[in-house]
Amino acid sequence: MSSFTALMKKLESSKIDHNLDMIMQAYQIAVDSHQGTVQTSGEPYIDYPVSVASIVADMGLDTSVVVTALLYESWSDFTIAEIVKRVGEDVAGLVDWFNRLRICPPQNLNHFIQAESIEDRVVKLLLPDLRHRSRHVCAHIKP
């Protein structure tokens, strides 16, 4: 079973009423964006955003955050206006904020979060992203 199929099954059985059509649309955008791209491990790159989306789903977050998890790695391929057109303003705003947060130097992160009044869903998305990245890095460190 593919990781996306597992994610969709998880979302279908969730207590939260997710917009599965929007999630499938976001997945297709991400697949198209990452076509032919692989991680350093050799795994298809699309597995990374799907893994983060799965963690987000486990956290019980809404459709917009699941869609953002699938799309934030594709942000450089699209303008915010294109994201608004494809999946709406809420997701476009989350993608924009998340990517601003990701480029913030760690020593300024707390100040940035407080000063910019970042929505808590963006911060909640940062944690699964960091969790996935740390798992991926640790799995490939040679003892």
- Express each pLDDT in 64-122 by its tens digit: 999 999 998 887 778 888 888 988 999 988 888 887 777 776 667 677 666 666 677 77
Buried-exposed string 57-89: b where 16+ CB fall within 10 A, e elsewhere: beeebebbbbbbbbbbbbbeebeeeebbebbbe
Q: Is the pLDDT of residue 46 over 80?
A: yes
Query: Please, what's the largest Cα pairwise distance for the chain?
Result: 47
Q: In 10 A of CB 136, how many CB atoms?
A: 16
Phi–psi pair at 77, nearest 5 degrees: -85, -10
pTM of the model: 0.82
Alpha-carbon Rg for the chain, nearest whole angstrom, is: 15
Cβ atoms of 119 and 97 within 8 Å: the answer is: yes
132 pLDDT above the threshold of 70: no
Q: Please, what is the average pLDDT of the chain?
A: 83
Six token digits for residue 69:
């998890």
pLDDT of residue 101: 76
How far apart are the C-alpha atoms of 55 and 118, rounded to whole Å?
20
What is the structure's pLDDT at 6?
94
